[in-house]
Copies of this chain bind each other. A is one copy, B any other.
């Protein structure tokens, strides 16, 4: 997903109707955590934020799951001088589609991430150095199991809804499968039940750019160092897949950075879109860890509900949640059809599921952008009365 700064609202994040100042906290689970791979961490930490208050009945929690390059900071600001609010601040806040006066909103940096949660850049207590690629392999299933432990710790009895776009949508689906009696609603956007070969291919080029950078050093580098060039290349390329041809043409077209200069015969920046991409690459390397990029893209590639459970219908068999899947017409990374197939498989499995397709020309990142149509869908889905959870044992 693109940097949150691009979604910054025009109004001040401290204005009325905004969440305002928020503080991230750390949850450390002191018990051993066994990953799907069989590897074990003796303990793990998730950094998270919450907005709103848990109700007396402890059933008003909305869990927000982030995408590849997102983090726990999805709404509000961390300091008065912050110009960037959280990455989904347009959706979440008092009176907004995810209304923090009604819901207890929780968002955690994923396991394997690099913004406070345990991941390859965390220090390995055994060596005092970053785990690097010695960190256990992470899957979407591991991410949601860790988040469930956080919700238990916070005293949540059932989640009102799990919401996520892109990799966040994968987590939302996986959460409903893994914790069916705990999950009332799932809202998955711009996502897929398994990536296509093309999506794997783009991730692989990004990984190769990182791993072939001599500074990667088989994942062994000091915190803040590492394969900055490779990571920037990976990010530049991935960014193209998050937007659409039409939106890039509208935003940049073929405009030159120095239009008065005639035809510039140079390999330096010449087109605005080049300057923009380089900026995307440079700002990313200051906030993201290259090993986390490897881990999380691998988790994306390996996510395959049909293969893991025999079929998509079998995967969804335990689901109790009502599900809304939202696809975006211009999303060519996880195209509408892949979203529609999720809803269809849920219906085939006898579940309550709907599919909505929004017409946008903003590409995959449409789920992050201002859209009254999306806000209305989200608000209405969260407000409607959920069907009772069946007395159903797996």
Asked if residues A197 and B252 are in contact (CB atoms below 8 Å), the reply is yes
Q: Which residue of B lies closest to A244 (CB)?
A: B198
Interface string of A181-203 (1 = CB under 8 A from B): 00000000000001111101110
Asked if residues A271 and B233 are in contact (CB atoms below 8 Å), the reply is no
Chain B residue contacts of A301, Cβ below 8 A: 270-271
Asked if residues B214 and A214 are in contact (CB atoms below 8 Å), the reply is yes
Q: Is A82 interfacial (CB 8 A cutoff)?
A: no
Name the distance in Å between A339's Cβ and chain B's nearest Cβ.
15
Q: How far is the CA of A278 from the CA of B198 in the complex (A)?
A: 14
Name the distance in Å between A243's Cβ and chain B's nearest Cβ.
8
Asked if residues A204 and B263 are in contact (CB atoms below 8 Å), the reply is no
A residues with CB within 8 A of B? 36-37, 39, 133, 137, 194-198, 200-202, 204-205, 207-209, 211-214, 229, 232-233, 236-237, 240, 244-245, 248-249, 251-254, 263, 265-267, 270-271, 273-274, 277-278, 281, 294, 298, 301-302, 304, 307, 332, 335
12 more contacts with CB within 8 A, not counting A36-B263, A37-B263, A198-B248, are: A37-B265, A137-B266, A196-B245, A196-B249, A200-B271, A200-B274, A204-B278, A205-B236, A208-B232, A208-B278, A254-B304, A332-B332
Q: Which of B197, B237, B252 touches A271 (beta carbons < 8 Å)?
A: B197
Asked if residues A137 and B265 are in contact (CB atoms below 8 Å), the reply is yes
Q: How far is the CA of A229 from the CA of B244 in the complex (A)?
A: 28
In the complex with contacts A254-B304, A263-B37, A265-B37, A274-B137 CB distance below 8 A: no
Name the distance in Å between A306's Cβ and chain B's nearest Cβ.
9
In the complex with contacts A271-B301, A277-B204, A229-B245 CB distance below 8 A: no
Q: What are 26 A-B residue pairs whose CB atoms fall within 8 Å in the complex?
A: A39-B265, A196-B249, A197-B245, A197-B251, A197-B253, A197-B254, A197-B273, A198-B240, A200-B254, A200-B271, A200-B273, A201-B236, A201-B248, A201-B274, A202-B237, A204-B273, A205-B233, A205-B236, A205-B237, A205-B277, A209-B209, A233-B233, A245-B335, A267-B294, A270-B301, A332-B332
Number of this chain's copies in the assembly equals: 2
In the complex with contacts A273-B201, A274-B201, A298-B267, A233-B214 CB distance below 8 A: no
Q: How far is the CA of A94 from the CA of B207 in the complex (A)?
A: 46
Q: Which of A37, A240, A248, A335 has the most CB of B within 10 A?
A: A240
Q: Which of A197, A201, A204, A233 has the most CB of B within 10 A?
A: A197
In the complex with contacts A209-B209, A267-B294, A197-B248 CB distance below 8 A: yes
Q: How far is the CA of A133 from the CA of B209 in the complex (A)?
A: 23
Chain B residue contacts of A201, Cβ below 8 A: 236, 240, 248, 273-274, 277
Name the distance in Å between A119's Cβ and chain B's nearest Cβ.
15
Q: How far is the CA of A238 from the CA of B163 in the complex (A)?
A: 34
Q: Which of A37, A208, A277 has the most CB of B within 10 A?
A: A208
Name the distance in Å between A185's Cβ and chain B's nearest Cβ.
29
